[in-house]
Structure 1
Amino acid sequence: MDLKQLNAFIAVADLRSFSAAATKTGLSQPSLSRLLKQLETDMGVVLIDRYHRPLHLTEAGSFFYDKISTILTEIDTVTSMTQRLSAPSSVLNIGFVPQCYTACCLKSLPRLNSSAPDIDVNLKDISSYQQIDALKSGEIDIGFGRFAHQDPWIQQILLRHERYVVALPKSHPLANVRKQRLIDLANNRLILYHQTHLPVSSTVTIETATQANDKLSTSRVNRAATHEAASSEPITEPLLHLFAQYGISPFMTTTVSDLQVALGLVAAGEGITLVPASLQTVRTEQISYQRLVHENVTSPIYLHTLEDFVHPKIPDLLTAIYHVYEQRGITYRQQNFVSQA
């Protein structure tokens, strides 16, 4: 059994076609068939049912596919990490979600460029969860995101918590109310813009949240049809999660693809949303941004990198971020990644 045989098997299993798998692997179809036949002979099992079209994996083949896919992914990750260890680069590839750019990169990168001019920075707009695969493949060296991750290949630090503000149309009756309560916003259409969900460990149920907030649980709360008061379904969308912490479910929600679309709808008077405070300079001619009275309604900012390899320029980036935060009086947690290299 060797990697060439395993990669051939994975290609056939993914594409369910010998001809397509041959094209993908760069092998001739007879060569691909010989590799798979030899793998089955060595293992003493039949992995592929060749009499179905498209091809099907046998029960043994399905089991083998599930296990070997994970192993091959880890081999690819280790290979990429080893290559980076042997050839450190002055290029720092940074992945970020748009909600983090203003809070982390806008002021920090000019500081980094002036303090460490030998660093070449590449920026990539990429979702929090896509960052994990990008770190493993070497596409990025560090990622800024809004979600915590549990992955043995990844280490993370919590940089800080950023307060949410409510974004309302300028014509909204509450547009000039300086401190908003979530309970007063519940009758509005809440526009949701997160494409990924919180990890299960961070979810909260309406039932649990109501018990934990007795004062608010006795208040008038409007509940959406999909979240009845008796429901114990986990609330995994970040903004719904925040409302649920206070025993509240918005009357109506609309989900869009990203934050810019959400703010466009707010500007058009189609609803309200919550955004990190660093974004309250967007479309101010059409949108009113107001603070919330709830101090713990915040959005975390996490930094992620590999567990076993920390790019040598990441400490310079952290120093630049901390310097900007200190200048602006922003509360943060000063931490550093642990390098195993």
Structure 2
Amino acid sequence: MQLKQLQAFHAVAKSQSFSAAAALTDLSQPTLSRLIKQLEEEIGAELIDRYHRPLQLTAAGEFFYEKSLALLAELDTITAMTQRMAHPPKTLRIGFVPSVLYGLLPNIIGLLKRQLPDLEVQLKDISSYQQLEALKSGDIDVGFGRFAQQDTWVQQILLRHERYVVALPVTHPLAGVNDLRLPQLADNRLILYHQSHLNSTALGQETEPLLNLFDRYGVLPFATTTVSDLQVALGLVAAGEGITLVPDSLKTLRSEQIRYQTLLHEDATSPIYLNTLAEIAHPAYPTFLETIYQVYENKGITYRRK
């Protein structure tokens, strides 16, 4: 089986037309037809029902198409990584979730530029789960995320755990109470903001990080509101529409409208992970990692050294 046969088949399957697939691949229709016929002969099954318009896949064709999608995606990843290995990028592209930007990321970037003054740095706001594909495609070289994930291509380092604080409207009855317990918050509307594919109801509500934290203590808020990002969540808190939990580094945001109170629970934390490719590291990565550790040490922050 040849790669060009597989690519020809996928082009026809997607476009449902030999003429459209020919324009897409810059191959002639006879060439496409010949390649797919060769593929069918090798497999020993008809993959395309040529008697329907638009073209349709046979049951065998549907099966082969679905199972070979991952193969082509893996090949694209390997090709992109090989190109980066042969031509290492001069720019360090850093992906981040917004909650990290409001923390120590600016300090880390500032120190890194002093240590590597010729290094160009680009920052990209990207969710934790989008970072995996962005690393493999080359859109970013490293990423700061908040969720543990599994991918054979990606190395994930747990940098540290950051304590959650409770964000309350200034007029809230608990706004002056320190060391709150999660059961004390159960009568409030909890505003959820994590950008995560785990927010799908098909996977279960308890997989959302904040709800999962409440559930560990045997309570759930009486109601929830899900918003697109952290800033919207804090805007709703400021408007008195509910409460939320945020990492400690964000407690300076909207401080005139919001009171941030500590949680008694020591395990009420949000992890910070550094994501990078497992086998191909950016030339600046070792210095970048040491810069992170240096900033943590300067700030007196407990962290895990790889």
Assess same fold via TM > 0.5.
Answer: yes
SS of corresponding position for 2:195: coil
Residue type of the alignment partner of 2:171: S
Spell out the pairing of 1:267-286 with structure 2 (5 A cutoff). 267-286=238-257
Kindly indicate whether the alpha-carbon contact (under 8 Å) linking 2:129 and 2:197 is maintained by their aligned counterparts in 1.
no
Instruction: Compute the displacement of 1:284 (Å).
Output: 1.3
Which residue in the other structure is 1:139 paired with?
A: 139
Which residue in the other structure is 2:267 paired with?
A: 296
RMSD: 2.1
Instruction: Compute the displacement of 1:298 (Å).
Output: 0.3
Which residue in the other structure is 2:121 paired with?
A: 121
Which residue in the other structure is 1:223 paired with?
A: none
Q: How many residues align?
A: 304
Residue type of the alignment partner of 1:184: Q
- After superposition, the Cα gap between the structure-2 partners of 1:84 and 1:55, relative to the gap in structure 1 and judged at 3 Å, is same
Specify every segment of 5 or more residues in structure 1 that has no aligned partner in the other structure, as ranges: 200-225, 227-232, 336-341
- After superposition, the Cα gap between the structure-2 partners of 1:55 and 1:275, relative to the gap in structure 1 and judged at 3 Å, is farther
Normalising by structure 2, report the TM-score: 0.92
Kindly indicate whether the alpha-carbon contact (under 8 Å) linking 2:18 and 2:29 is maintained by their aligned counterparts in 1.
yes
| 1:317 equivalenced with 2:280 (yes/no) | no
Residue type of the alignment partner of 2:276: T
- After superposition, the Cα gap between the structure-2 partners of 1:121 and 1:56, relative to the gap in structure 1 and judged at 3 Å, is same
Identity of aligned residues (%): 65
Which residue in the other structure is 1:252 paired with?
A: 223
Instruction: Compute the displacement of 1:29 (Å).
Output: 4.2
Q: Whole-Å Cα distance in 1 between the matches of residues 172 and 30 of structure 2? A: 69
Q: Whole-Å Cα distance in 1 between the matches of residues 91 and 75 of structure 2? A: 24
Q: Whole-Å Cα distance in 2 between the matches of residues 29 and 261 of structure 1? A: 52
Q: Whole-Å Cα distance in 2 between the matches of residues 53 and 178 of structure 1? A: 69
Q: Whole-Å Cα distance in 1 between the matches of residues 113 and 133 of structure 2? A: 27
Instruction: Compute the displacement of 1:237 (Å).
Output: 0.6
Q: Deviations over 1:119-154 (max 9, x none)?
A: 111111111111111111111111110111111111
Q: Whole-Å Cα distance in 2 between the matches of residues 129 and 16 of structure 1? A: 32
Q: Deviations over 1:60-119 (max 9, x none)?
A: 112212222111111111111111111223211111111222334121000000011121
Residue type of the alignment partner of 2:7: N
Kindly indicate whether the alpha-carbon contact (under 8 Å) linking 1:90 and 1:118 is maintained by their aligned counterparts in 2.
no
Instruction: Compute the displacement of 1:330 (Å).
Output: 0.7
Spell out the pairing of 1:104-119 with structure 2 (5 A cutoff). 104-119=104-119
SS of corresponding position for 1:332: coil
| 1:77 equivalenced with 2:77 (yes/no) | yes
Which residue in the other structure is 1:49 paired with?
A: 49
Instruction: Compute the displacement of 1:53 (Å).
Output: 4.4
Q: Whole-Å Cα distance in 1 between the matches of residues 174 and 19 of structure 2? A: 63
Kindly indicate whether the alpha-carbon contact (under 8 Å) linking 1:166 and 1:291 is maintained by their aligned counterparts in 2.
yes
Q: Whole-Å Cα distance in 2 between the matches of residues 50 and 305 of structure 1? A: 45
Q: Which shifted more, 324-333 or 24-33?
A: 24-33
1:236 is matched with which residue: 190, 204, 207?
207
- After superposition, the Cα gap between the structure-2 partners of 1:316 and 1:58, relative to the gap in structure 1 and judged at 3 Å, is same
Q: Whole-Å Cα distance in 2 between the matches of residues 17 and 249 of structure 1? A: 52
Q: Deviations over 1:35-77 (max 9, x none)?
A: 3233223332111223344433222112212222111111111
Normalising by structure 1, report the TM-score: 0.83
Instruction: Compute the displacement of 1:198 (Å).
Output: 5.1
Q: Whole-Å Cα distance in 2 between the matches of residues 166 and 15 of structure 1? A: 51
Kindly indicate whether the alpha-carbon contact (under 8 Å) linking 1:143 and 1:304 is maintained by their aligned counterparts in 2.
yes
Spell out the pairing of 1:1-341 with structure 2 (5 A cutoff). 1-197=1-197, 235-335=206-306
